[in-house]
Structure formats: structure tokens, C-alpha cells
Amino acid sequence: MHLIPARGDVMRRTEGILPTTIGRDDVQRLVAEGAQLVEVLPKKEFDEQHLRGAIHIPLRRIDTGVRASLAPERPVVVYCWDSA
């Protein structure tokens, strides 16, 4: 599974559906309902500032990190911000 969001966008993948861009309100609702929030920023950027409650899985580790760090029965919201 590869989820690569566009700059500043948040993408959601549900079973059988391709990732889709969602807005801030949807992110807040999904996290309140138990979704796992994953930031794929490099460690230095994550340490400097990240969304509250986010799990850090660098993009380069997304394939191996997902299985080790996430509950498979809960939805996942993946977030990446690139100011460049």
C-alpha cells in the first residue's frame, strides 16, 4: 500500500477505495471516531512540529512501518506537509 499525498493535502484510504483528498473537518471527525493519524514527514520536521496525536512513520518506512505501528482494524489518515 502506498499513500503519497500532494503537498499539504490529507488522503484517506478505505478498503477497496483509492486514496482521496479530504478536508480539515473530515480529518477531525475521523480522528475523533478513532482513525489513526500518520505523518510521513522526515524525523527532524516531525520533531519540530506535528499534528497532536499523530504517529510518525517516515515515508521511506511506510511499507514496513504500517504493519508494526498501526492497528489494522482502524482507519488511517496519512498526512504530509511540504512547504517547498
Residues 5-41: tens digit of each pLDDT: 444 444 444 455 567 788 889 888 999 999 999 998 8
Domain count of the fold of the chain: 1
Asked whether residue 4 is assigned to any structural domain, the reply reads no
28 inside domain: yes
Q: Tabulate helix, strand, coil % of the chain (nearest 5).
A: 30, 20, 50
Share of the chain above pLDDT 70, in %: 71
Give the pLDDT score at 77.
87
- Are 79 and 38 contacting, i.e. CB atoms less than 8 angstroms apart? yes
Question: Which ranges in the chain belong to alpha helices (H)?
Answer: 24-32, 43-48, 62-69
Range of the domain at 36: 10-15+22-79
d(CA 50, CA 19): 22
